[in-house]
Amino acid sequence: MEILDQGKGELFVDPDPDKLRGFFRGKNRKLIDKCMTLKDAVDKFVNNGDYLGIGGFGANRTPIAACHEILRQGKKNLGFAGHTATHDMQILSAGEAYDRIDVAYVVGLEARGLSSCSRKYLESGKVKITEWTNYSLTVRLQAAAMGVPYLPARNIMGTDTFNYSAAKMAECPFTGKKLALLPALSPDVSFIHVHEADMYGNARFKGIATSDIDLAKASKRLIITCERLISNDEIRRDPSSTKIPYFLVDAVCEVPYGAYPGTMPYEYFSDEEHIKEWMSTEKDPDAFKEFLDRNIYNVKDNDGYIMENGGLKKMQKLRRKEFLFKEED
Amino acid sequence: MADYNMMEMMISVASRELENGATVGVGTGAPCAAAMLAQKMASPELIIMFEAGGISPELPEMPISVGDSRTFHKALMAGSMGDIMESCSRGFVDYTFLGGAQIDMYGNLNSTVIGDHANPKVRLPGSGGANDFASFCWRMMVMTPQDARRFVEKVDFMTTPGWLEGGDSRAESGLPLDAGPYKIITNMAVMDFEPVSKRMRIISVNPGYSLQDIQDNCGFELLKADKIVETQAPTEEELRILREEVDPYGYVIGR
C-alpha cells in the first residue's frame, strides 16, 4: 500500500494484533472471584510506564476514585489516552502521573472552563503529545477491539491535527478515495466505572456508552469499579443487560460514589461546587498542595474523600439533583 | 427595538438556520442554546445529537457536559460516541456548530495551541469532536464574537477543517465531498463563503454596525455579497423563550 502522507506525532502503543492476541491467549478465562480493594487492584495491575485508559466521558461515569488511587500510590511515567479527559486529567496532571498523551480533548472541563493545573503540565515540556480527535481515538480502540492493526476513517485529513498525529493516509483500493488510517490502540490497563458488576466481572451500566465497550475490549488489563456488587444470578436473569463480559476483566472493586465529583447517570449529579473549588484552588500552588493532601494524599480511600466532602448528606443532595428535584438550598 | 446582548443576538440568528426535521450535532453552551431555541420556535422536530451518545433528548436544562445526564434525558437513544460519529460519517447529520480561539478566511479553526505546538504560549483543549463534526456534518457553522485577534490571516494550528486552502482544496483532501463551513455568525454580521474561492463573505450586517466595523474587527479582507441585508434582531418572542425557558440562569446569555 502506498502511503500518501503521514503525521509526525509519536505512536505510543504498538498496533500489532498478533502481539495482542498472544497476550489475550494467556489471559485466564475461568469464572473466578475477582473482587478486591481498589488499592490492591491499582497495586497489582498498574505498573509505572503503562499506557492507561480511563472510561467515561468528561466527568461522567468516570472512574475518579481510581485516578485518586493512582496518585496515592505515586504511579509515574504512564501513557494516557486523553479522550475527552477533563477532571480525570486534572487529577493525573496534579500528580504528574503521565509523561505522554494521545490528545483528543484535554485541559478543559467543557462549559466549566480550562484547568490551569492541566494546562501548566502540558506546557511544561515534560509531556510528549500526539494529536488526535475524539472519534479517531474511538476508531483506534475499535481497531484493537476487532484485532486488526488499523481502521480507515474520513476525518482529520487536510489539517494540522493529522500532521501532528501518528496516522497515515493511503488510497482506498476499491474507490480510489483518500483515507486516514488510524492505528489500533490497546491500553496496558484501563479503568471503567459502572453501576453494577458481579464478582467475576460481568458488568452493566446505564445511559450513554461513550467508547467504553471498545475500551473494555481493547485493553490488556481491565479494572471495573462499580457502584454496587450484584449476584451472578442477577446477571444470568437478565443477560441482555451485560455490557462487559467477565473474561475481559481482571479486578472488580466495589466503590460507591466512585465517579464523584462527576456525574453517575441515574445515581448522582456532578458536585459543581467542589469542581469549582478544584479549579480555583489549583491556581495557587500552596493552597493546591494543601487541597490535594486533604482530598487525596491524606485520605485512605474513596470513603475518606466522600466524608471529607459532605458524606452521605451531600450524596443524597446530588441524587436529588440528578433526578431534577427542585429544592431550596 | 428590544434590548438584547451579543449572545442573545448570535443565538437567535443561529437558531433560525436550523429547519424543522433537520439533525444537528451540538456541544455545550451557545450551540445548545441555539438548538433549544429553534425547537421552541419554528423547529419542534429538530433532532439534537451529542457526541458522547445522546440522541434527541428533551433537554430539561442546559447541559454542563456533552455527556452529562441531561444529554440523554427522555432521549430516543442513549448510544455511544461511535453511534453519533458514524451517523455523521454516513451523512445523516445536517448541521453542527463549532468554535475556536482562531478562525481564518476559509473557516479553518484552531482550538489546539496559541504559538508553536512544541512550545506553546497557550495550550488549548485540542479537537475533541470538532474535527470529526467539521469533517462529516454537511453544514458547519460558527458562532463567535467578531475580533481581529480571533479572525486571523493564518491560524497558528489548523485543528478543524474549514475549506482548507480554499478553491477545490477540501474536495482534494480526502474529506467527504460537499460538506464544509456554511455560515459564520458574529455579534456584528453573518458571513457565508463565496462558492468558487471559498473565502468568507459578508451577507448580512447586524443592527448598529457598519461594513467598516466588521472589516476593522477582522484580520483578513472579507468579501462582500452583491446584496447585503440587515440581520433580523432577536424578536420579543425569541428573547422571552431564551431568557425564561432555554437559559433561565443565564449560563450562556449572561443575564
pLDDT at B180: 98
Q: Residue A62: is its pLDDT beyond 70? A: yes
Please give the mean pLDDT across all residues of chain A: 97
Catalytic residue among B19, B51, B172, B244: B51
pLDDT at A1: 85
Name the pTM for this structure.
0.97
Mutate to test the interface with B, among A93, A120, A134 (most CBs of B within 10 A): A134
- Does B138 map to a domain? yes
Q: Provide the grid cell at A45.
A: 495491575
- Does B215 map to a domain? yes
**pLDDT, average across residues A275-295:** 97
- Does B252 map to a domain? no
CB-nearest to A263 from B28, B68, B82 is B68
Torsion of CA A307, A312, A318, A323, to 10 degrees: 160
Categorise residue A36: left if φ over 0, alpha if ψ from -120 to 50, beta otherwise: beta
Which CATH number covers residue B161? 3.40.1080.10
pLDDT at A327: 74
**Which residues constitute the domain of residue B69?**
6-246
B160 touches chain A (CB under 8 A): yes
The residue among B222, B235, B157, B238 whose CA lies nearest residue B186 is B222
pLDDT at B1: 55
Residues 57-76 of B with CB under 8 A from A: 60-69, 71-72
Q: How confident is the model at residue A329 (pLDDT cuts 50, 70, 90)?
A: low
B107 touches chain A (CB under 8 A): no
> In chain A, what are the domains?
10-275 (3.40.1080.10)
Round to whole Å and give the CA distance between B115 and B155. 10
**pLDDT, average across residues A292-317:** 98
A21 touches chain B (CB under 8 A): no
Q: Kindly report, residue by residue over A229-272, the tens digit of the pLDDT.
A: 999 999 999 999 999 999 999 999 999 999 999 999 999 999 99
Q: Residue A326: is its pLDDT beyond 90? A: no
Residue contact A159–B160, C-beta within 8 A: yes
Could you give the number of structural domains in chain B? Answer: 1
Residue contact B176–A154, C-beta within 8 A: yes
Ranges of chain B with pLDDT below 50: none
Mutate to test the interface with B, among A64, A135, A217 (most CBs of B within 10 A): A135
Taking CB atoms and an 8 Å cutoff, what residues of chain A touch B163? Answer: none
pLDDT at A328: 62
Round to whole Å and give the CA distance between B37 and A323. 23
Taking CB atoms and an 8 Å cutoff, what residues of chain B touch A58? Answer: 52, 65-68
